């Protein structure tokens, strides 16, 4: 199969879909991004890299970061993590306060914002520096030592982060936060403000297609832990549209409001699509469409 030609076709077909979505504007710095941009990259487990469109352009990875922080936390905590956070789809918006109150401060899964705050809390307790640990990991796995955060995006989110602060304070009031709220929130907004390209993210995610083995051959996760992260990505990784994403794309995926989506092709590789215009659930319209077309044309899905 000519994978380069396929990605070029997907990039050429993206424009009408990008025009259907809307760029996230609740974090003002994200609203400035051109909605017409589109990139897609594929990194394979045998070391090949393909890409088309804006696949080398850095963008705000936002919640795509949560797949990586879950991997790092699970590697350290193992099954005890699940005392602090659940692993069921939420069926609610990613920043919902109501569900957290009903469920007594235990977030439904690690990918909604409350759950991601728990991951940061655990990584802070494990390492003393959640952001630094994650950034070093992403640099190593992507092979790009320049991976870093955009301070303007971090400041913009920090200034508008009342809802995440409410989630963190509520969990603290339930005894489900080990570190000070302000410290957890600071690491959270800086983590979400990391900027990476489709190429960087596809390479960084390869351990998920490779049963937990890192780029240098060392083991981050057991085979079974890598399976579990892919399962949580499939069921919870694309907001409350995870069912539709599974129906259309048929791969574990994690999206972010910056317009990025990481999708894992087990034992084959990792795809990353980016296009900033989002649907009502927060997933990139052109990104989901491109991934749908990719798995439809290749037949490469987990189903």
Provide the annotated active-site residues. Answer: 63, 66, 188, 239, 257
Q: Is 210 exposed, middle or buried (0-12, 13-18, 19+ CB in 10 A)?
A: buried
Does 283 participate in binding ligand GLU (rule CB under 6 A)?
no
Q: What x/- string results for residues 175 through 214 when contact with ligand GLU is judged by CB under 6 A? A: -----------------x----------------------
Residue 82: which residues within 8 A CB-CB, separation 6 or more? none
Q: Where are the beta strands (DSSP E) in 106-162?
A: 148-149
92 binds ligand GLU (CB under 6 A): no
Q: Does 150 bind ligand GLU (CB under 6 A)?
A: no
Give the DSSP letter of residue 46.
T
Q: How far is CA 138 from CA 6, 104, 132, 144, in A?
A: 27, 33, 10, 8
Binds ligand GLU (CB under 6 A): choice among 72, 257, 264, 265: 257
From 54, 150, 157, 240, residue interacting with ligand GLU (rule: CB under 6 A): 157
63 part of the interface to ligand GLU, by CB under 6 A: yes
Q: What is the rounded distance in angstroms from the CA atom of residue 239 to the CA atom of residue 206?
A: 22
Told to check if 94 binds ligand GLU by CB under 6 A, we report yes
Contact pick of 133, 142, 156, 164 for ligand GLU (by CB under 6 A): 164
Half-sphere exposure of 147 (CA within 13 A, CB side): 30
Which among 123, 134, 63 is positioned nearest to 93, based on CA atoms? 63
Using CB under 6 A, which of 96, 113, 156, 275 touches ligand GLU? Answer: 113
Decide whether 113 or 179 has the Cβ nearer to ligand GLU.
113
Residues in contact with ligand GLU by CB under 6 A are 62-63, 94-95, 113, 157, 164, 192, 256-257, 282
């Amino acid at each position: 199969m000519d994978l380069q030609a396929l990605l070029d076709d997907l990039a050429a077909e993206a424009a009408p879909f990008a025009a259907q979505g809307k760029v996230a504007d609740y974090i003002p710095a994200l609203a400035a991004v051109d909605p017409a941009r589109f990139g897609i990259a594929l990194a394979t487990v045998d070391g090949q890299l393909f890409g088309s469109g804006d696949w080398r352009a850095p963008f705000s990875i936002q919640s795509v970061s949560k797949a990586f922080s879950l991997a790092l936390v699970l590697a350290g905590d193992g099954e005890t993590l699940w005392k602090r956070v659940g692993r069921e789809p939420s069926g609610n918006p990613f920043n919902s306060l109501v569900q957290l109150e009903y469920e007594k401060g235990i977030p439904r899964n690690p990918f909604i914002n409350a759950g991601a705050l728990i991951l940061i809390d655990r990584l802070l307790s494990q390492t003393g520096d959640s952001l630094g640990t994650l950034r070093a990991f992403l640099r190593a796995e992507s092979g790009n030592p320049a991976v870093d955060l955009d301070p303007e995006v971090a400041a913009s989110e920090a200034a508008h982060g009342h809802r995440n602060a409410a989630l963190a304070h509520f969990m603290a009031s339930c005894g489900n936060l080990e570190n000070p709220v302000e410290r957890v929130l600071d690491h959270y907004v800086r983590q979400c403000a990391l900027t990476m390209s489709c190429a960087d993210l596809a390479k960084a995610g390869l351990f998920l297609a490779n049963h937990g083995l890192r780029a240098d051959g060392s083991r981050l996760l057991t085979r079974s832990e890598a399976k579990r992260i892919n399962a949580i990505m499939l069921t919870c990784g694309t907001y409350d549209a995870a069912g539709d994403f599974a129906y259309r794309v048929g791969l574990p995926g994690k999206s972010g409001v910056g317009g990025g989506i990481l999708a894992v092709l087990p034992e084959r590789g990792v795809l990353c699509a980016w296009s900033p215009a989002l649907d009502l659930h927060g997933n990139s319209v052109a990104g989901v469409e491109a991934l749908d077309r990719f798995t439809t044309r290749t037949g490469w899905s987990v189903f």
